Each structure stands twice: as structure tokens, then as C-alpha cells.
Amino acid sequence: MNIYWWGVLVLVVSVLVGAQQSPVPVEQEPHHHLVLKNDSVLVVRVKLLPGESTLFHTHLYDRMTVDLSDATITRQKPGEPESGPETAKVGRVVALESNGPFTHLVHNAGKATFEALDVEVLHRPTQAAGPAAGKVEAENPSARAYKWTLAPGATSAMHTHERPYLIISTSPLVLKMTDPEGKSFTHEVKAGDIHWVDAKVTHSLANEGTTAGQIVEIELK
């Protein structure tokens, strides 16, 4: 092999090694798909088939994860052994606080597809947050999460969001939202659908369908 081909070989090997070792920002990781990015939040949806792993990727912000499937996953930080198995469950909300850049990978160690949303808070409003809109399911310094589990025909308490929030359906649902004057909107939503609301809102949430449904709301602090 002449010097030229040695150069090409060294380049190819270093690119392959680099691809395995250099972490990427979460929104550039190939299994994470960008769903929403605005001034306040970055939302990515991760999907891993059984046996698949993400690349090492880096999170920079306080964040919440919302599982969209029942699955078994493990996690791994660079240079450390793989974690023990962790059970993901539809509607599970995990609040994580950032202490600087955090790099890891996620591996689907089970037999079912793993799907989840990752909501990263880029900027909070400058003024202090008011009271919570309901029972707090999970929180970190940047956001609170509420979870509304709705049997067919059930309606949540009327509640007020003083802060911008993201509404997430973790199941297919015929969702009826009603304001205090009785005006309502009905939407047929799929598992993983999201909607960002940057306004003060008072509403109740009702399940107009025939199967159980669940809504997670992530509200900025």
C-alpha cells in the first residue's frame, strides 16, 4: 500500500472511531426526532426498536421525559458499565435537573419498542412562578408536570395555567377541553401528540372516547 492509501485508511478509521466516541447534541442523535423547538422548549421523540441503542448524546438543560410505551431500557455513561434494566411505562414522567452537560446513551434491552418524548426547557419566564395548576406529578427547577388519567366519560378538575405549557397525550384520546364559560373544543389525538400553549388558560379536560386516556401537561416554572 502506498502512502496515499495509508492516508485514506487512517482517515476512514478515524472517522469510524470518531463516530462511535464523540457525543452529539440530543437533537442530532439519529434515533431522536425533533418535534418542536421554540424560544422556551426543545422537544424530541426517541424511538428504539428491541436491541437498538442511541449514540452517545448530550443534554444541556433541565428536562422531563414522558414514556409513550411499556419497555425495558438501560443507560450508559461514557467509560462506565451499562446500568441495570429500567422499566419504562406509558405515561411515566421523569424530571431531571441539569448540572451541566450530561452525556449518555440509551439501549432498548427488552422485546418491545421503546418510545418517549424528551422535553428540554431552554428558557423560563423571568418572573417567579405562581401556584401549581393541580397535583404535581414531577418537577425540576424549570417545570412542573401534571398527569390527568381519564376513564371514558371522565372530566378533570377545572384548572388554570398561569404559565406557558406543553400538553401531551400519552394515549389515543378524544379530548374535549372546556373553558369556564362552557365553550369547548374537541380534538381526536394520537399517542405522543403535543401542543404548545403560550397563554394563560383555564380549562377542564374530558375523555369523550370509549377507551381510557391520559394527558400530561408540562408547565414552565
Q: Footprint of Zn ion on this chain (CB under 5 A)?
A: 217
Longest dimension (CA), the chain: 80
Q: With the CA atoms of 141, 148, 92 and 126 taken in that order, what torsion angle do they form, in degrees rounded to the nearest 10?
A: -20
Smallest gap from Cβ 164 to Zn ion, in A, equals 12
Q: Which is nearer to Zn ion, 53 or 149 (CB)?
A: 149
Q: Which is nearer to Zn ion, 46 or 215 (CB)?
A: 215
Smallest gap from Cβ 144 to Zn ion, in A, equals 11
- Closest-by-Cβ residue to Zn ion is 217
Q: Which is nearer to Zn ion, 67 or 217 (CB)?
A: 217
Q: Which is nearer to Zn ion, 58 or 149 (CB)?
A: 149
Q: Which is nearer to Zn ion, 26 or 145 (CB)?
A: 145
Q: Which is nearer to Zn ion, 46 or 133 (CB)?
A: 133
Please say whether the beta carbons of 212 and 117 come within 8 A: no
Full strand arrangement of the beta sheet holding 213-220:
138-140, 143-150, 213-220, 165-169, 194-197
Smallest gap from Cβ 114 to Zn ion, in A, equals 27
Smallest gap from Cβ 209 to Zn ion, in A, equals 18
Q: Which residues of 131-169 are buried (b: 16+ CB within 10 A; e: fewer)?
A: eebbeebbbbebbbbbbbebeeeeebeebebbbbbbbbb
Q: With the CA atoms of 193, 69, 72 and 219 taken in that order, what torsion angle do they form, in degrees rounded to the nearest 10?
A: 40
Smallest gap from Cβ 187 to Zn ion, in A, equals 13
Smallest gap from Cβ 159 to Zn ion, in A, equals 5
Of 10, 38, 25, 9, nearest in space to 194 by CA: 38
Full strand arrangement of the beta sheet holding 86-88:
24-25, 57-59, 102-108, 71-76, 86-88
